[in-house]
Amino acid sequence: MDYIKKVKMIASRINHIKEQIPDNVTLIAVSKTKPNELILEGISSGHLDFGENKVQELVSKHENLPKNIRWHMIGHLQRNKVKYIAPFVHMIHGVDSAKLLKEIDKQGQKNNRKINCLLQFHIASENTKFGFSLNEVESLQKEEFFNPLKHINICGVMGMATFTDDNEMIRKEFNNLKSYFEKLKAHFNPNDFKIISMGMSGDYPIAIECGSNMIRVGSAIFGERK
Ligand SMILES: *Cc1c(COP(=O)(O)O)cnc(C)c1O
């Protein structure tokens, strides 16, 4: 397929997915490794939520693309790199430690803003995936860890299911994340704590059935990554 045709397909794929999903579900178009031209084509359909998983790439795309894009940091975030994205990032999905929360709060204060965060949970059977356990977050709640963090909005939870063809296994993991959300929500500000970010190209229909209201879709929009 020639490049122009490929670019034109981005907007129609985004629109197609949006037509399929319920109105309360936000689509994040995951543009990691993809060039700015393809992101611009996505914007031409009116879409503004994009996800990246590397700080350097995210910063470069933010600098070179329209400033009204809402950038979602969906990858693992190292503490020493928070400062680069703190001025502009719309939401950080992969928050997986107390130390990282403290650093994001500190950088939020420096930038005089509140940074939207999702608590990432380890729900997959693979032990390579990052994230809190339910126990860890419940302990943090008990010790009132979150109260002094005035430059963070805890907006909900995020997780990734096991990479498998076993749909029942995926469903179980997504149901777990949804149950964590329900268990934790009484402690957080209900005006912020609303998001369940789960579901990717291969499993977002299951995720939505399990209660997801934010899906992160890359290859089904932009094509396979190398
Ligand atoms: C890459 C990535 C996605 C998108 O994956 P696809 O399978 O291409 O849709 C979603 N979430 C995270 C955290 C990712 O790193």
Verify whether ligand 1 is closer than 6 Å to residue 108 (CB atom): no
Task: Determine if ligand 1 sits within 6 Å of the CB of residue 157.
Answer: no
> What is the per-residue pLDDT for 3?
72
CB atoms within 10 A of CB 128: 7
The pLDDT, as a whole number, for residue 176 is 97
Got the DSSP string for 76-139? ---GGGHHHHTTT-SEEEEE--HHHHHHHHHHHHHTTSPEEEEEEE--SSSTTS--B-HHHHHH
44-88 per-position pLDDT tens digit: 889 999 999 999 999 999 999 999 999 999 999 999 999 999 999
| Ligand 1 pocket check for 218: Cβ under 6 Å | yes
* Residue 129 in this model has a pLDDT that exceeds 80: no
Q: Are 100 and 81 in contact (CB under 8 A)?
A: no
**Measured from the CA of 222, which atom of ligand 1 is nearest?**
8
Whether residue 118 has its Cβ less than 6 Å from ligand 1: no
Pocket of ligand 1 contains residue 30 by CB under 6 Å: yes
Flag whether pLDDT at 33 surpasses 90.
Answer: yes
Q: Whose CA is nearest to atom 12 of ligand 1?
A: 74
Distance 51 CA to ligand 1 centre (A): 9
Q: How much distance in Å is there from the Cα of 134 to the middle of ligand 1?
A: 23
**Is the pTM for the entire model greater than 0.85?**
yes
pLDDT value, residue 1 = 64
Ligand 1 mean position, distance from CA 71 (Å): 14
The verdict on the CB of residue 33 being under 6 Å from ligand 1 is no
Token couple for 59:
């910063």
3-state secondary structure 125-183: CCCCCCCECHHHHHHHHHCCCCCCCCCEEEEEEEECCCCCCCHHHHHHHHHHHHHHHHH
Structure tokens at 40: 């611009």
**What whole-number distance in Å separates Cα of residue 111 and Cα of residue 152?**
12
Dist CA 123 CA 75 (whole Å)? 16
- At 174 the pLDDT is 98
* Tokens encoding 149: 């963090």
Q: Is the CB of residue 91 less than 8 Å from the CB of residue 155?
A: yes
Once rounded to an integer, what is the mean pLDDT over residues 191-210?
Answer: 98
Which DSSP letter does residue 195 get? E
* DSSP 8-class letter at 74: -
Reply yes or no on whether the pLDDT at 128 is more than 80.
no
